[in-house]
Structure 1
Amino acid sequence: MKQITPKETHTYLQSHPEAVFIDCRSEIEYLFVGHPVGAIHIAWQDGPDWDVNPDFLGHARKAASVNRPVVLICRSGRRSADAGRYLEKHGFPEVYNVAHGFEGDMDEQRHRSTRNGWRFDGLPWEQT
């Protein structure tokens, strides 16, 4: 799995329209925090118990079909890295993880989107 920055991700997605961009955060994060424009939502883990989504693999296979590249994003890049390793283990040939994720690393005040990440870099996102 290749780690790419949010800006590299945006460039990659523009030049590879066949790629599938999956936001694997919880439904609450996806809906209320916002998400990258063009990302589809397939939760890796979700509440109330935060177990791994038993349908994640099936939904990812359906979204990516056969050989489409998959780009994963979460809040900070950690959950998406776990999800990416899982997809690779199950035969996905080309998986990318967005380093620093959508909200990025925490600063000294424990706030996100102040150091790095998709939103920090000013990349297109929306809130539904």
Structure 2
Amino acid sequence: MKHLLPTEAWTWLQDQTAQRAAEGLEPPLFVDVRMEIESLYVGRPPGVVHIAWYEYPDLTADPQAFAAAVEAEAGDKGRPVLLICRSGKRTQDAGAALEAAGFAEVAHVVHGFEGDLDDRFKRSTLNGWRFDGLPWEQM
């Protein structure tokens, strides 16, 4: 699995999209693995597809079901997949599940969408997708 800082992930996504378009292929699949409520209310990158690693109230991951859902959305396991979550931790487990399921190219956003907690227990103040000023939207 590739570990990409947010700005690296954005560049990789843009480069892969252009390269794959030139080859007549679909762009990488960009997957938000957070719970739906996080994605909707906290914000998310544009164009991201929501497939939760786990969901409320169970808060228990099902790696096989997750991999199957990503495969259904991707169309095949050869399509590159970029994962994002809140802080970059869930994506490591989700990415490992995809690799175990046979996905060929998996990357995740280090520090995720909101980044690490600062000394006042706040996010988006040290690092992360939003902190780096990358495109995002909020419902």
Match of 2:59 in 1: 50
The sequence identity of aligned pairs, in percent, is 53
Instruction: Name structure 2 gaps, 5 residues minimum.
Output: 18-26
CA deviation after TM superposition for structure 1 residue 112, in Å: 0.2
* Pair 1:63-2:107 in alignment: no
Q: Secondary structure at the match of 1:21?
A: strand
Q: Structure 1: how far apart are the matches of 2:113 and 2:3?
A: 14
Match of 2:16 in 1: 16
The one of 106, 110, 116 equivalent to 1:95 is: 106
CA deviation after TM superposition for structure 1 residue 93, in Å: 0.8
Answer 1 or 2: which has greater helix percent: 2
Q: Structure 2: how far apart are the matches of 1:80 and 1:72?
A: 6
Match of 1:79 in 2: 90
Q: Structure 1: how far apart are the matches of 2:133 and 2:106?
A: 24
1:49-88 Cα deviation digits (max 9, x unpaired): 2011463222100122221100000000000110000000
CA deviation after TM superposition for structure 1 residue 126, in Å: 0.3
Q: Which runs of 4+ in 1 moved over 3 A?
A: none
Instruction: Name structure 1 gaps, 5 residues minimum.
Output: none
Q: Secondary structure at the match of 2:108?
A: strand
Larger Rg: 2
RMSD (Å), alpha carbons: 1.0
Residue 7 of structure 1 aligns with an amino acid whose one-letter code is T
Q: Structure 1: how far apart are the matches of 2:39 and 2:68?
A: 20
CA deviation after TM superposition for structure 1 residue 39, in Å: 0.7
Q: Structure 1: how far apart are the matches of 2:42 and 2:65?
A: 23
